[in-house]
Chains A and B, each alone.
Chain A
Amino acid sequence: MATLHNKILGIIGATLIGMIFIIYLSSHFIIMDSFDKLEEKEARENAIRLENIMSSEIQSLENKAADWSVWDETYEFVQSNDTQYVDKYLMDETFFNQRLDFMLFYNANGKLVFKKELLTTEANNQSIKGLEEHLKQRSDLLEHEDNSSRKTGFLVFAGQPILVSSQPIVKSDKSGPIKGTILMGRVIDDDEFTRLHEITYLELDVKNISNYNENNASNAVYAGNNEEKIITHILNDDIHIYSYAQFNNIYGADAFSLEISMLRNIHQRGVNTINYFLAILLLIGIVFGVTIAAVLEKSHISRLKRLENEIRNIGDKGDFSRRVNYEGNDEIASLGESINNMLESLEKSQDLIIKRDITINAILQALPDMMFQIKKDGTIRNYKLSTDNCIYESPEAELSICLDDVLPAHIAKKELEIIEQALRTNQMQTMQYTMPVKGEMRDFEVRVVASGKDEVMAVVKDITEIKQIDEMRRKDILLKEIHHRVKNNLQIISSLLRLQSRKFTDKDTIEAFRKSQNRAKSMAIAHEKLYQSQDLENIELEAYIKTLTKYLLNNYGYKQEDIKIDIKIKNVTQGIDMAIPLGLIITEIVSNTLKHAFKSNKGQIQIELLPENDGFYLLVIRDNGIGFPEDIDFTNTDSLGMRLVVSLVEQIEGKIELWRDNGTEFRITFKELSYNRRDY
């Protein structure tokens, strides 16, 4: 890992190296350039010095030659050619002293009169021979316009330059006429170079020697003796620097050049200086870099590392309740503070998530419904049955169950379709189905909600009971309708009977109709009470009998103030099968009472229904009227009403007794019949 530490070291290092490099390069250029310029300047000055020396050599030769040429003795000699002159003046010592190698005397006709040369080396002789040959070919140097003409310069023959001066021979007082020409000079040979080296302390070498060439110089004439060129042409290698002094020959063509080689001490000193400078720079750089790195390490990086370690520890353990330590008030401290703030938020969020987790878990556990996490292809990833552990906590491991394993094929196929639809529309889809569970057909409702890209949550509710209740409610509504209808029909029968009765005037007939009408009405009220009751099965007898007796009272034209009806029935309910016969019995007896018992149109009727032991009930119908006739056996009479009462008591498997004590009292004992509810 490229740590911050390494990065900082790298950056500092690279910066320092770059800086050093740039400083080095620029200083190299500046310093080396000036050193090199210095060196070049010196090399050039050396060349100039050499050139000056050569010029003075030329001058000196010219002066020496003038001593000979402007002299009466020579004037005489060139005309007479006497041996005395030769013996007297042209001695070898003179030549040595004068540093002359040869002397040539030509008369005015251009004929060589005398020739004196020092026998030194073969090469030198060759060169001098070359000069003689040249003078035979070309007479420029032998012709002088006036008495003071001087022609001095270099000529190269046989690979060696010759310094030569040609002067007209005149009298000592410089008067003419010119009787000839004297040429003298010396060969610039190795000895000459050695002498030059000793004078100048310069390493010299002759270069670019061009022999005199007749063709090249054909047009040239004597060009004077100042035609030497200083070529400050500098050549250098790593060790030497070379400068050149270029000399032309006497005719102005290239003759030779002298190469001055110099050890590059100055350059070398420059290099050393630069290296020394570089070393110091490097040293400073290293010290500087190490110092900065150390300071940074101490002041920032170590703190950052500590911070990082703390954060990593927190991250590894997932313990957001911990905090990092920080001190100071710089950016690192502020980073630490920010991290602590973040940790605080994280801790809060974590707490919130845990709380929500617990809540969601609790909700899921409390839900009785089954839940399935199903993939698009029907694979069940996770599930919770109604009694199982929560789906929320289920393991990560892949379950190898699919819809076909838990549902019948046709239902599984349908469910796959709605899963697909739920995923496509992103809306909840529901479906109901019935399937056998433990040998019993049960109804289920599944709600499918997309819970991922290709995953849904299916909540399956067992709706068997709900469906049954629903069914029951529908049946109850139907039943209520039927009871209502029955009541209406009985009401219609009752109305029909009354309407019909009005067509008669005969009292017995009217009475017969009225009784029939009352019987129908008593049944109508029973049905009315039934559909008004909560369960559609049991009739609250108190309300029923109150309504019934009120109706009868009205129907017989009594006012409620005159006939007091006292009903004592507390919380007794009976099914329709029992309530109808009881209602009819009460109708018959009360009708009978109302018709016969009260002569003064005033009286009291008591109806009591008392629960007795063993599920028996006692129904008492009592009045304070004139009393049931003693001579009539109510069990055996022509009266339809009494016959009905007896029959109905039989129907409910009860017993009836008649008490004649202060009026009339019928006591009917019966037991609640266990009629099973008919299966609708």
Chain B
Amino acid sequence: MTKERIMIVEDEKIVALDIKDSLEHFGYSVPCMASSGEEAIRSVNECKPDLILMDIVLKGKIDGIDAARAIHKNCDIPVSISPHTQMKKHYKEQNSPNRLDIS
């Protein structure tokens, strides 16, 4: 049985490492990580993850939500956006795409 592949998009590398470690501890595969929205969009095709964990606040010009939208245009990968109270409220108001899972 192949492991589910999860991509982590997080600009704080240590935090990203922590998440990766935890996920691998739970038995998932984390083949690639990105620290900016642009990088995530670039590497999503090579990496082909089953799920993307996306932080909202990122380096670079675009935030997590915009990056998730861009990814959704090209492929059908669920994106989980990390909890962030204010943002959550903000994006729920904006009728965000169904596959954007704001947990």
From known contacts A502-B21, A502-B25, infer whether A495 and B86 are also in contact, taking CB-CB under 8 Å. no
Closest partner residue, chain A, to B22 (CB atom):
A498
With A488-B12, A491-B12 in contact, do A532 and B85 touch (Cβ < 8 Å)?
yes
Complex: A543 Cα to B89 Cα, angstroms: 14
Interface residues of A in 487-512 (CB under 8 A from B): 488, 491-492, 494-496, 498-499, 502
Question: Which residue from chain B places its CB closest to the CB of A543 in the assembled complex?
Answer: B85
Cβ A499 vs Cβ B12 within 8 A: no
Taking a contact as CB atoms under 8 Å apart, the answer to whether B12 and A492 are in contact is: yes
| Distance in angstroms between the alpha carbons of A564 and B8 in the assembled complex | 31
| A514-556 residues at the B interface, CB under 8 angstroms | 532, 543
Residues of B within 8 A of A498 (CB): 18, 21-22
Contact string against B for A residues 462-493, beta-carbon threshold 8 Å, 1 for contact and 0 otherwise: 00000000000000000000000000100110
- Which residues of chain A come closer than 8 Å to B85, judged between CB atoms? 532, 543
Interface residues on A, range: 10 to 19
B15 near A491 (CB under 8 angstroms)? yes
Given A488-B12, A491-B12, A492-B12, are A499 and B18 neighbors across the interface (CB < 8 Å)?
A: yes
Do residues A495 and B25 form an inter-chain contact, with CB atoms below 8 A?
no
Contact of B17 among A494, A495, A543 (CB under 8 A): A495
Cβ-neighbour of B15 out of A492, A502, A532, A543 (below 8 A): A492
CA distance A443 to B14 in the complex (A): 47
Given A488-B12, A492-B15, is A499 in contact with B21 using a C-beta cutoff of 8 Å?
A: yes
**Cα–Cα distance between A26 and B18 once the two chains are bound (Å):** 133
B17 in contact with A499 (CB, 8 Å): yes
CB-CB under 8 A from B22, the residues of chain A are: 498
* B86 and A532 contact, CB distance less than 8 A: yes
Among residues of B, the one whose C-beta sits closest to the C-beta of A531 is B86
Q: Tell whether, in the assembled complex, residue B14 and residue A492 are in contact, meaning their CB atoms are under 8 Å apart.
A: yes
Q: Please, which residues of chain B bring their CB within 8 A of the CB of A488?
A: 12, 15
Chain B residues with CB under 8 Å of A491's CB are 12, 15
CA distance A499 to B16 in the complex (A): 11
Produce 1/0 per residue, B7-31, CB < 8 A to A: 0000010110111011001000000
Complex contacts, B14 vs chain A, CB 8 Å: 492, 495-496, 499
Q: How far is the CB of A493 from chain B (nearest CB, A)?
A: 9
What residue in chain B is nearest A491 (Cβ atoms)? B15
Q: Mark B28-71, 1 if CB is under 8 A from A, else 0.
A: 00000000000000000000000000000000000000000000
**Interchain nearest-CB distance for B29 vs A (Å):** 17
A91 to chain B, nearest CB (A): 172
Q: Which residue of A lies closest to B16 (CB)?
A: A495
**Within the complex, what minimum Cβ distance (angstroms) separates B24 from chain A?**
10
* Chain A: CB-nearest residue to B19: A495
Interface string of A279-305 (1 = CB under 8 A from B): 000000000000000000000000000
Most chain B CB atoms below 10 A, which of A495, A502, A543: A495
Contacts of B21 in A (CB 8 A): 498-499, 502
User: In the complex, what's the smallest C-beta–C-beta distance from B38 to chain A, in angstroms?
Assistant: 21
Cα distance, A491 to B12, chains bound together (Å): 9
Q: Which residues of A are found within 8 Å of B17, using beta-carbon distances?
A: 495, 499
Name the residue on B nearest A493 (C-beta): B14
Instruction: State the Cβ distance, A545 to closest chain B Cβ, in Å.
Output: 14
User: CA–CA, A627 to B86, complex, Å?
Assistant: 38
Residue of B nearest to A497 (CB): B18
CA distance A194 to B85 in the complex (A): 159
A152 to B103, CA, bound (A): 171
B51 nearest CB across to chain A (Å): 18
The docked-state distance in angstroms from the alpha carbon of A370 to that of B31 is: 67
Chain A residues within 8 Å of B12, by CB:
488, 491-492, 495
Query: How far is it, in angstroms, between the C-alpha of A488 and the C-alpha of B13 when the chains are bound?
Result: 11
- Max chain A Cβ within 10 angstroms of own Cβ: one of B18, B21, B22, B86: B18
Taking CB atoms, residues of chain B closer than 8 Å to A502 are 21, 25
In Å, the complex CA distance between A430 and B17 comes to 54
In the complex, how many angstroms separate the beta carbon of A532 from the nearest chain B beta carbon? Answer: 5
A502 to B20, CA, bound (A): 12
Query: Using Cβ atoms and an 8 Å threshold, which residues of chain B touch A494?
Result: 18
Cα(A488)–Cα(B84), bound, Å: 13
Q: Of all chain B residues, which has the CB nearest A498? A: B18
Which chain A residues in 345-397 approach chain B with CB under 8 Å? none
Give chain A nearest CB distance to B11 CB in angstroms.
Answer: 9
A592 to B42 CA separation, bound complex (whole angstroms): 45
* CB closest residue in chain A, given B57: A484
> How far, in angstroms, from A495 to B85 measured CA to CA in the complex?
21
In whole angstroms, how far apart are the Cα atoms of A498 and B21 in the complex? 9
A488 CA / B19 CA spacing, docked (Å) = 14
- Chain B: which residue is nearest A489 at the CB level? B12
Q: Enumerate chain B residues within 8 angstroms of A496, measured Cβ to Cβ.
A: 14, 18
**Alpha-carbon distance A488/B15, docked complex (angstroms):** 9
Q: Which residues of chain A have C-beta atoms less than 8 A from B86's C-beta?
A: 532
The winner among A491, A494, A499, A532 for most chain B CB atoms within 10 A is A499
Question: In angstroms, how far is the closest chain A Cβ from the Cβ of B9?
Answer: 16
Instruction: Report Cα–Cα, A496/B18, bound state, in Å.
Output: 7
Complex Cα distance, B65 from A119, in Å, reads 171
Query: 1/0 per residue B85-101: CB within 8 Å of A?
Result: 11000000000000000
- Min Cβ gap A445→B in Å is 34
A304 and B12 CA atoms in complex are apart in Å by: 97
Which residue of chain B is the closest to A517 with respect to CB atoms? B18
Q: Which residue of B lies closest to A496 (CB)?
A: B14
Residues of B within 8 A of A495 (CB): 12, 14-15, 17-19
> A494–B21 Cα gap in the complex (Å)?
13
With the chains together, A502 CA to B12 CA distance in Å?
19
B18 CB contacts on chain A under 8 angstroms: 494-496, 498-499
Say how far B50's CB is from chain A's closest CB, in angstroms.
22
Nearest residue, chain A, Cβ from B25 = A502
CA distance A653 to B25 in the complex (A): 43
With CB as the reference atom, state the residue of chain A lying closest to B18.
Answer: A495
Q: How far is the CA of A543 from the CA of B86 in the complex (A)?
A: 12
Tell me the bound Cα distance from A367 to B1 in angstroms: 76
Q: Mark B70-90, 1 if CB is under 8 A from A, else 0.
A: 000000000000000110000
> A93-133 toward B: CB 8 Å interface, digit per residue (1/0)?
00000000000000000000000000000000000000000
Provide the bound-state CA to CA distance between A543 and B17, in Å. 28
CB distance from A601 to the nearest CB of B (A): 19
Once the chains are docked, how many angstroms separate the CA of A557 from the CA of B25? Answer: 13
Other CB < 8 Å A-B pairs besides A495-B18, A499-B17, 16 of them?
Answer: A488-B12, A491-B12, A492-B12, A492-B15, A495-B14, A495-B15, A495-B17, A495-B19, A498-B18, A498-B22, A499-B14, A499-B18, A499-B21, A502-B25, A532-B86, A543-B85
Binding site for A on B (CB under 8 A): 12, 14-15, 17-19, 21-22, 25, 85-86
Subset of 19 A-B contacts with CB under 8 Å: A488-B12, A488-B15, A491-B12, A491-B15, A492-B12, A492-B14, A495-B12, A495-B14, A495-B17, A495-B19, A496-B14, A498-B18, A498-B21, A499-B17, A499-B21, A502-B21, A532-B85, A532-B86, A543-B85
Ranked 7 nearest A-B pairs via Cβ: A495-B18, A492-B14, A495-B15, A495-B14, A532-B86, A499-B18, A498-B18
